[in-house]
Amino acid sequence: MLELRNVTHVYPNGTRALDDVSLSIPRGMYGLLGPNGAGKSTLMRTVATLQTPTAGTISFGDIDVVARPEALRRTLGYLPQDFGVYPRVTAADMLDHMAVLKGVASAPERRETVERLLHQVNLWSFRNKALAGFSGGMRQRFGIAQALIGNPELIIVDEPTAGLDPEERNRFLNLLAEIGEKVVVILSTHIVADVADLCPRMAVIAAGRVRLEGAPLDLVAASHGRIWRKTIERTALADHRDRFQLISSRLFAGKTVIHILADADPGHGFDRAEGDLEDVYFSTLAQSRRAA
């Protein structure tokens, strides 16, 4: 459905935010994982027609997105990573306004849209409150609601779960999953679990390049038998970092648990670990860092 071919974006200051990115994104949820500053948001904004890539083509169905951004916008739902609101405007009014902007011109249809979406994101009781007074989570829910107006074919959500409490996050992911059955949903995040829970396909992006692309299950399966775990003292971390291909380290009950990548048993007290998506993600990042 959504095809990106050799998309490159260079900012005026020389920063190469996207470097020859090619992706083919089918219907369904698509996870875009990457650390902060990897170029995720640039990629999202580029697909959302807010930025024109320096080079490359993007197409959605038969829409050439770069040449005809207005065509894509008609079927796009976009939740930016960070957005503000107009002062002195209530949630219902703003959603109503967004509905007009999205082409829902008739008043009864707009009313229906607003009502259903506000219920859906659980903001109905706050509909007459000024958006400016909303907390981060409430504002995020509003953002989700507006992204769903008008049954978009392509939904882009940039870091949607940031600022949501676990309950809200669940609710939101369920909503996305429901929608994702019918349309293309791109979900960018740096939270591996979001992708792991939801996305049949994903890509890891770092330093502007696609480092890994595939179905999470396949990726995890491919790492099977190559992830090893060991619990060490904190002081030994530097030593292990030098000697092994360290993927991640985390603290657990005061000790440091490290994961490394090795094709065969590295010995030294490492145990085989059941690799999960996080290991795949971290190992990809580790490799890309080494390559850089």
By CB under 8 A, name the binding residues for other proteins. Answer: 12, 45, 48-52, 67, 69-70, 73-74, 76, 78, 80, 82-88, 97-98, 100-106, 109-110, 112-113, 116-117, 119-120, 122, 124-126, 129-130, 133-135, 138, 143, 146, 148-151, 167, 171, 174-175, 178-179
To other proteins, the closest distance from the beta carbon of 104 in angstroms equals 5
> Alpha-carbon dihedral of residues 146, 151, 155, 160, nearest 10 degrees?
40
- CA count, 13 A, side-chain hemisphere, 288: 18
To other proteins, the closest distance from the beta carbon of 137 in angstroms equals 10
To other proteins, the closest distance from the beta carbon of 88 in angstroms equals 6
Nearer to other proteins, 71 or 232 (CB): 71
Residues 6+ apart with CB under 8 A from 200: 28, 29, 215, 216
Nearer to other proteins, 13 or 235 (CB): 13
Answer for the pair 160, 189: CB distance below 8 angstroms, yes or no. Answer: yes
Q: What order do you get walking across the sheet with 154-158 strand by strand? A: 76-79, 154-158, 184-189, 28-33, 201-206, 209-214
Nearer to other proteins, 110 or 230 (CB): 110
Nearer to other proteins, 3 or 93 (CB): 93
- Pair of tokens at residue 197: 């829970």
CA atoms 281, 282, 285, 291: torsion sign: negative
To other proteins, the closest distance from the beta carbon of 167 in angstroms equals 8
Nearer to other proteins, 69 or 225 (CB): 69
Nearer to other proteins, 54 or 248 (CB): 54
Cα angle value 263/33/249 (rounded, 5°):
50
- Pair of tokens at residue 193: 């679990």
To other proteins, the closest distance from the beta carbon of 241 in angstroms equals 33
How many helices, marked H, and strands, marked E, lie in the chain? 10, 14
To other proteins, the closest distance from the beta carbon of 103 in angstroms equals 3
